[in-house]
Amino acid sequence: MKKFALCCLVLALAVMVVPQSQAATYCITLTSFCDQIQLTSQSVGGVQKTILYGAWDWECTGDLTDASIAGDPPGATTYLGTRPIYVGTDYAFAYTAEWSLKKSGFLFDLYGVTASSAIPFQLGQGWVLNNGACRPHRSNLPQATK
């Protein structure tokens, strides 16, 4: 019984001392558009080590539930992809949206991708990175996909 109690004590101490996976939330605001992307970067271990996931407010409604987004771990260029759904419908956008976010100069490219083509929607546009969740957007600006 003493060995069992000692094992439980060691396990409890290990849980308190060993750091848990850290997650951080960021908001990407497009400087010339009303769109925002909220991302969480989380350490997951394994081959990937870090995963990015979140949502894209692609219709500029303040709704971060209609376009899940995921991508590669942050680096010099971060790649994201999604297939958004129109708010209030079951209809998907005609393209898979592929993002390239470059930290150097804070520029992004956005492509609409199908099985047979890639159409540039925006090239070399600006973006800003902020810590924390996205705040209400600027609805007086156009959408990046229009």
pLDDT at 136 exceeding the cut of 50 = yes
146 Cβ neighbours under 8 A, 6+ residues apart: none
pLDDT of residue 14: 31
How far is 144 from 34, CA to CA, in rounded Å? 8
Q: Residue 104 has what DSSP assignment?
A: T
97 Cβ neighbours under 8 A, 6+ residues apart: 56, 58, 81, 82, 83, 84, 110, 111, 112, 113, 121, 145
pLDDT at 101 exceeding the cut of 90 = yes
76-93 pLDDT, tens digit each = 788 999 988 887 788 788
Q: What is the mean pLDDT of residues 106-125?
A: 95
pLDDT at 4 exceeding the cut of 50 = no
Class of residue 123 by CB neighbours under 10 A (exposed 0-12, middle 13-18, buried 19+): exposed
Which band of pLDDT confidence, cut at 50, 70 and 90, is reported for residue 127? very high
Is the pTM higher than 0.95? no
28 near 103, Cβ under 8 Å? no
**AA identity, residue 19:** P
87 near 61, Cβ under 8 Å? yes
Residue 105 φ/ψ region, left for φ over 0, alpha for ψ in the -120 to 50 degree band, beta for the rest: left
14-25 pLDDT, tens digit each = 333 334 446 899
Would you call 71 helix, strand, or coil by DSSP? strand
Tokens of 21: 């996976």
What's the mean per-residue pLDDT of the chain?
81
35-58 pLDDT, tens digit each = 999 999 998 878 878 889 999 998
pLDDT of residue 54: 95
